Structure 1
Amino acid sequence: MARYTGPKSKIARKFGEAIFGDDKAFEKKSYPPGQHGNNRRRGKKSEYAIQLMEKQKAKYTYGILEKQFRNLFEKANRSKGVTGEVLLQMCESRLDNVVYRMGLSPSRSGARQLVSHRHITVNGEIVNIPSYALKPGDVIGVREKSKSVQAIQDSLDNNSSVYEWITWNTEKKEGTYVAIPERMQIPENIKEQLIVELYSK
């Protein structure tokens, strides 16, 4: 399974925000990486550079590689609605992202691992494809054999996030993807219009 496995703090520092969640290394050095990172007098970025940076940030945030991301964009571009908004909604409706949002894992990469290791069910069936696109009404749960996995329990105990478009039943260890989230319900700091402009060139 292709995915980014390089240093995460370095990427977070490049974008100036902890896109992979809590990060002690990022807190210590919140300036860009490299020997000139602390020197703030960097040249003015071109329009293309700003757009590219935003696309890279979105890709790293959701853990999606270039080909997959472009395919998502083209699908969003063909659908009704605002392209950038639809693109983010598609990223949010991925199974690995919803598992992360439900608090089953403290990170998206951890959520991806739970899915690919067959710990997660959708409507009662095991699904091990992290990019699986959920539809409103789908029920996501922890497989019966996996309900005792300590990492899942620890993550749920430490999770305090609540999203209006997801419900969660702690006793059953299952939740429902109630609706496609509105843009204002997506907390990620991504300027999706810049991504649309980049791909529309």
Structure 2
Amino acid sequence: MARNLDAKCRQCRREGEKLFLKGEKCFTDKCAVERRAYAPGQHGQKSGQRLSGYGQQLREKQKIRRIYGVLERQFRKTFAQAESQKGQTGENLLKLLECRLDAVAYRMGFGASRAEARQIVRHNGVLVNGKRTNIPSYSVRPGDVVQLTENAKTQLRTKGALEAAESRNFPQWIEVDAKAGKGVFKAYPAREDLPPSINEGLVVELYSR
């Protein structure tokens, strides 16, 4: 299976903001973006470089791909699906990405990062409506119950991730019982519930060229 093997902190620095790819480290002063707030590479510290319109669109697409951990082919497929639905394509795209099982597992605190949540899903540690589901791209629907298996609940990293997520409060579109390692995907998130730093309109413009 293809994966993005670039260093997580390097990806955040390339985009110039925290993408929360390293779990709890991103919430501490050890975060690479906090310590080195410039792009990686020998030319990273050069300032005054302006991106063209295409460059801005491309960077935004790369940023969203990195946040949700999807490869180009998956991203194009998701965009095509968003474009075929009613409503605004950009908002549809973010909703489809947020209802991926690995994204839902991350939001519910089953993993400290999306990569860790994806690993738990791949290793048969998550049930959807009581059935074992190990496909990270599986689309969770409103009303679906997502929970950890008994074996996954006993893992120390899972317990730590749940406690940390509970301390930061869970998103409004999900309901989680942290002690039971179980949650309900109540509804698709509204645009205002998602990070304002994401400009999905640039991605729509990019694919409309």
**Would you call these one fold, judging by a TM-score over 0.5?**
yes
Q: Which digits, 9 at most, give the CA deviation of each residue in 1:65-103, with x for residues without a partner?
A: 001100100110010010000000000000000110011
Q: Residue 17 of structure 1 aligns with which residue?
A: 17
Match of 1:194 in 2: 202
The 8 Å contact of residues 163 and 178 in structure 2, kept in 1 or not, is answered as: no
What is the alpha-carbon distance in structure 1 between the residues aligned to residue 44 and residue 153 of structure 2? 45
Instruction: Return the letter of the residue paired with 1:34.
Output: G
> Is residue 98 of structure 1 aligned with residue 104 of structure 2?
yes
Deviations 1:112-150 (A, max 9, x none): 000000000000011000010000000000112322111
**Letter paired with 1:152:** T
Unaligned runs of 5+ in 1: none
2:186 aligned to 172, 178, 191, which one?
178
Partner residue, 2:41: 34
1:52-201 equivalences under 5 Å are 52-159=58-165, 160-187=168-195, 189-201=197-209
CA distance in 2, matches of 1:149, 1:51: 40
Provide structure 2 residue ranges, at least 5 long, that are not aligned to the other structure.
none
Q: Separation in 1 of the partners of 2:198 and 2:155?
A: 33
Identity among equivalent pairs (%): 43
Q: TM-score, normalised by structure 1?
A: 0.95
CA–CA separation in structure 2 for the residues paired with 1:35 and 1:132:
40
Q: TM-score with structure 2 length normalisation?
A: 0.92
| 2:184 match: secondary structure | strand
State the superposition RMSD in angstroms.
1.2
Any conservation in 2 of the 1:101–1:161 contact (CA below 8 Å)?
A: no
3-state SS, counterpart of residue 147 of structure 2 = strand
> After the TM superposition, which segments of 4 or more aligned residues of structure 1 sit over 3 Å from their partners?
none
> Within 1, Cα distance between the matches of 2:88 and 2:139?
19
| Post-superposition offset of 1:24 | 2.4
CA drift at 1:170: 2.4
Report the residue type matching 2:8 in the other structure: K
